[in-house]
Amino acid sequence: MLQIQSPGKKPYSPHPILNLGFRVFFASAAIFAIITMALWIFVFMGKLSLGGVVFQPFYWHAHEMLYGYTMAIIAGFLLTAVQTWTGVPMPYGKHLLAIFSFWGIARLIWALTAFNPSQGVTITLVIIAFIADMIFMVWMATIITRAVLKAKQKRQIGIVSKILLLALANALCYIGILSQNMNLNRIGIYLGFYLIIALVLTVGRRVTPFFTQKGLSVGQTTEVTVKNSKALDAMSLGFFVIFFISDVFIPNPILLSVAALATAIVNLIRLVGWYHHAIWKKPLLWSLFLGFFGMCIGFVIYALQAWGIGTHSLAVHALALSGIAMMTIAMMTRVSLGHTGRSIHQPPKTVVWMYILLIIAFIARVILPIFDMSSYIMWLMISQTSWILCFVLFCISYLPILSRERADGAFG
């Protein structure tokens, strides 16, 4: 992978895990994914009570999956990738630790609210978490914006704008909690969720065909090529915008169904253009492909609600488990190898089991309840357990990689 270092003295950080953003954020996100899902199981089963300010339990869970876990992955990815895209060095060492610490403070506070503190204490905790989350998100967005502007890369402005809008959506969540306005809280959750899916569709459009071409061309006499279409890209964006506006701001079941189905069809056509039979020999490629395919299934479930098939919750979790969980774990397992000087063509054998566990989580949480809602709690437990085991495997396999120096001795 490309390493961009300024000439002269080698950069220094107190520990290798602070060498570049992906290290500390990927490692912490994986640990957090285990802890927060375990807490959610206890909250869902009534073993823990959300205290003080009246939290909507599902929004508590959604907030930390989006603004906790997913934002950590986004931060780790962008604070690494933007350096490659622009040539502008990203934070490392104590500077990176300072940015990360605000994410960590907010996550610790949200975990504490699951243990039913008094109302006064809870309000104080939420305010502190609000401040910490805003500092983290705005600081990260500022760093990325400066790099993009310095490099004059206008094509990255869309990504920057989504990060700023995510900060706004997160602020709406906090204001909704503190004012006990559950509708505002709902808008903050779903606006953030769909902004993340939009970001996945944007970044996924870049990396999935690119990685497929590069990964399958190694050792071949002729370069593998895949099909892309600017028209399909534009239609995907247009239909998706109509879809999320009709779900969040202007509820219209018919418009939602049409836009969701159109988004699914357009992205299925894109996938057909990116497909190559050789991807099934490379887990780091088929995981990205299945993540995109799972999102298409999610959009189809949204569309089928109008005919009484599936529910809004199942559709949301289809997008979350494929577009967020599978796509992020696929990126983490690849980036963590490439940016530590290791071969992406020889990933740890456990990566296949990580992907299989997320596929099981998707089937149990999304597909099986459509056919047997009477066993919903059992499907939910299987899905949650599969999620936890997936990230346990990631921690076992990748924490040693993320916390050691690069294999080639370079800084990064």
Per-position DSSP letters for 369-382, written without gaps between them: HHH-GGGHHHHHHH
Render pLDDT for 383-405 as a digit per residue (tens, 0 to 9). Answer: 999 999 999 999 999 999 999 99
Quick one: average pLDDT of 205-222? 78
Residue 253 and residue 176 share a domain: no
In this prediction, residue 221 has a pLDDT band, given cuts at 50, 70 and 90, of low
Amino acid at 120: G
The SS3 assignment for 121 reads helix
- Higher pLDDT among residues 364 and 117, named by residue: 364
- At 138 the pLDDT is 95
The answer to whether residue 203 is domain-embedded is no
The answer to whether residue 9 is domain-embedded is no
CA–CA separation, 310 and 267 (whole Å): 21
Total Cβ atoms within 10 A of residue 331: 25
Residue 251 and residue 367 share a domain: yes
CA–CA separation, 193 and 65 (whole Å): 10
Total Cβ atoms within 10 A of residue 129: 23
Residue 5 pLDDT exceeds 80? no
- Predicted TM-score (pTM) of the model is 0.93
Tokens of 206: 């870049």
Render pLDDT for 92-101 as a digit per residue (tens, 0 to 9). Answer: 999 999 999 9
CA proximity to 302, closest of 248, 223, 344, 233: 248
Query: Which sign does the torsion angle of CA 292, 298, 304, 310 carry?
Result: positive
Residue 206 pLDDT exceeds 90? no
The answer to whether residue 197 is domain-embedded is no
Residue 304 and residue 156 share a domain: no
In this prediction, residue 51 has a pLDDT band, given cuts at 50, 70 and 90, of low
Residue 72 and residue 166 share a domain: yes
CA–CA separation, 371 and 109 (whole Å): 39
- At 216 the pLDDT is 84
340 neighbors 276 (Cβ within 8 angstroms): no
Residue 170 and residue 245 share a domain: no
Number of domains the chain contains: 2
Residue 362 and residue 257 share a domain: yes
Q: Of all residues in the chain, what percent carry a pLDDT higher than 90?
A: 69
The answer to whether residue 334 is domain-embedded is yes
Tokens of 264: 């699914």
Tokens of 313: 């919750």
Q: Rg of the chain's alpha carbons, rounded to an integer?
A: 21
Q: Which domain holds residue 246?
A: 227-403
Residue 303 and residue 154 share a domain: no
CA proximity to 36, closest of 128, 109, 123: 109
Residues 6+ apart with CB under 8 A from 246: 252, 255, 256, 259
Residue 35 pLDDT exceeds 60? yes
Residue 171 and residue 231 share a domain: no
The answer to whether residue 187 is domain-embedded is no
Residue where a domain terminates, one of 147, 180, 213: 180
CA–CA separation, 359 and 352 (whole Å): 11
88: phi then psi, degrees, rounded to nearest 5: -90, 125
Residue 251 and residue 165 share a domain: no
- At 151 the pLDDT is 87
Residue 382 and residue 290 share a domain: yes
Residue 123 and residue 56 share a domain: yes
Residue 375 and residue 253 share a domain: yes
Residue where a domain terminates, one of 180, 212, 244: 180
CA proximity to 65, closest of 43, 42, 41, 32: 32
The answer to whether residue 12 is domain-embedded is no
The answer to whether residue 347 is domain-embedded is yes
CA–CA separation, 329 and 335 (whole Å): 10
Residue where a domain terminates, one of 111, 145, 180: 180
Render pLDDT for 256-280 as a digit per residue (tens, 0 to 9). Answer: 999 999 999 999 999 999 998 889 9
The answer to whether residue 256 is domain-embedded is yes
141 neighbors 169 (Cβ within 8 angstroms): no
In this prediction, residue 345 has a pLDDT band, given cuts at 50, 70 and 90, of confident
Q: Where are the alpha helices (DSSP H) in 327-375?
A: 327-338, 350-362, 368-371
**Across the chain, what does the average pLDDT equal?**
91
